[in-house]
Amino acid sequence: MRSAIRPLAPETINRIAAGEVVESPGSVLKELIENSLDAGATRIELEFAGGGINLLKLSDDGHGIPREELSEALERHSTSKIRELTDIEDTGTLGFRGEALAAIASVSLLEICSRVEEDDSAWAITSRGGTVEQVRPAARARGTSVTVRELFGDVPVRRKFLKSETAEKRRLQSLWHTYVLAWPELAFILREEGRELSHYPATTDMRERARQILGDTTARHMVEVDMESEGYRLTGLATLPLISRGNRSHQFLYLGRRPIADGSVSHAISQAYSEMLVPGRFPATVLFLETPPGLVDVNVHPAKREVRFRDSRRIHHIVNRGLKSAIHGEGDLGQLLARDSDLLLGAPRSGRAAEGDAQKEIFGRPVVDAPFTGGSGGGSPAHSSGHLPGGKPASPLNTRVGGSGLFMSLSTGEDAEEIANSSGVNVNDEQREERLFWQLHNTFILTQIRGGLVIIDQHNAHERVLFDEARAALDGEKMGCQRLLFPHTVELDANEMAAWQEQASLFSDLGFLIEEFGDHTLSVVGIPDSLRRWDDGQVIRDILDDVLAETGGITEKRDRALMSFACKSAIKAGEGMRDEEMRHLVDQLFGTGNPYTCPHGRPIVIRISMDELEKRFHRTVPEGN
- Would you say 79 or 530 has its CB closer to other proteins? 530
State yes or no: residue 119 binds other proteins (CB under 8 A).
no
Q: Which of 440, 444, 521, 527 is nearest to 481 (CA)?
A: 527
CB of 125 within 8 A of CB of 112? Answer: yes
Q: In terms of CB distance, is 297 or 529 closer to other proteins?
A: 529
CA distance 454 to 461: 13
Q: Binding to other proteins by residue 355, rule CB under 8 A?
A: no
Between 297 and 477, name the residue whose CB sits nearer to other proteins.
Answer: 477
> How many chain residues interact with other proteins (CB under 8 A)?
32
Distance CA 343, CA 450 (A): 18
Can you tell me the distance from the alpha carbon of 413 to that of 420, in angstroms, rounded to the nearest whole number?
11
Question: Looking at residue 75, what DSSP letter applies?
Answer: S
Closest listed residue to residue 322, CA positions, set 206, 400, 238: 238
Please spell the DSSP secondary structure of 252-264, one letter per residue.
EEEETTEE-B-HH
| Structural contact between residues 32 and 55, judged by C-beta atoms closer than 8 angstroms | no
Pick from 193, 491, 493, 529 the residue near other proteins by CB under 8 A. 529
Cα–Cα nearest to 142, from 127, 111, 112, 120: 120
Q: Which of 481, 504, 548, 610 is close enough to bind other proteins by CB under 8 A?
A: 481
Q: Contacting other proteins (CB under 8 A), which of 173, 373, 447, 588?
A: 588
Closer to other proteins by Cβ: residue 232 or 437: 437
User: Is the CB of 319 or the CB of 567 nearer to other proteins?
Assistant: 567
**Is residue 477 part of the contact set for other proteins (CB under 8 A)?**
yes
User: C-beta of 515: minimal distance to other proteins in Å?
Assistant: 13
Rule CB under 8 A: is residue 486 a binding residue for other proteins? yes
| Residue closer to other proteins (CB basis): 196 or 536 | 536
Judged by beta carbon, residue 228 or residue 529, the one nearer other proteins is 529
Q: Does 535 bind other proteins (CB under 8 A)?
A: yes
Shorter beta-carbon distance to other proteins: residue 206 or 420:
420
**Strand, coil or helix: 168:** helix
Contact stretch for other proteins (CB under 8 A) within 26-34, 374-382, 527-535, 551-559: 527-535
Rounded Cα distance between 83 and 77, Å, is: 11
H helices within 480-553, ranges in order? 494-510, 538-548
Nearest to 86 by CA among 72, 96, 75: 96
Return the residue of 22, 479, 506, 598 that touches other proteins, per CB under 8 A: 479
Q: Examine residue 483 and tell whether it contacts other proteins (CB under 8 A).
A: yes
Give whichever of 375 and 591 is closer to other proteins, judged by the CB atom: 591
Q: Which is nearer to other proteins, 24 or 447 (CB)?
A: 447
Report how far residue 395's alpha carbon sits from residue 225's, in angstroms, rounded to the nearest whole number.
9
Query: Cβ of residue 586: shortest distance to other proteins, in angstroms?
Result: 11
Give the nearest distance from C-beta 476 to other proteins in angstroms: 9
**Applying CB under 8 A, does 357 fall inside the site for other proteins?**
no
Taking CB under 8 A as the rule, does residue 485 contact other proteins?
A: yes
| Interacting residue with other proteins among 300, 555, 591, 619 (CB under 8 A) | 591
Largest separation between any pair of C-alpha atoms in the chain? 107
Sign of the CA dihedral running 617, 621, 623, 624: positive
Residue 203: C-alpha distances to residues 180, 188, 615 (Å)? 11, 11, 37
Q: Is 466 in the site for other proteins (CB under 8 A)?
A: yes
Ranges assigned E (strand) in 245-323: 251-255, 258-259, 285-290, 296-297, 308-309
Shorter beta-carbon distance to other proteins: residue 142 or 584 = 584
Which burial class, exposed, middle or buried, applies to 224 when counting CB atoms under 10 A from its CB (0-12, 13-18, 19+)? Answer: buried
The only residue of 571, 604, 605, 608 in contact with other proteins, by rule CB under 8 A: 571
Q: How far is the CB of 536 from other proteins (least distance, A)?
A: 6
By CB under 8 A, name the one of 24, 530, 564, 594 that touches other proteins. Answer: 530
Q: Is 412 within 8 Å of 339 (Cβ atoms)?
A: yes
Q: Is 534 in the site for other proteins (CB under 8 A)?
A: yes
Contact 603, 352 (CB under 8 A): no
Q: Which residues bind other proteins (CB under 8 A)?
A: 462, 465-466, 469, 477-486, 511, 513, 526, 529-530, 533-536, 571, 577, 580-581, 584-585, 587-588, 591
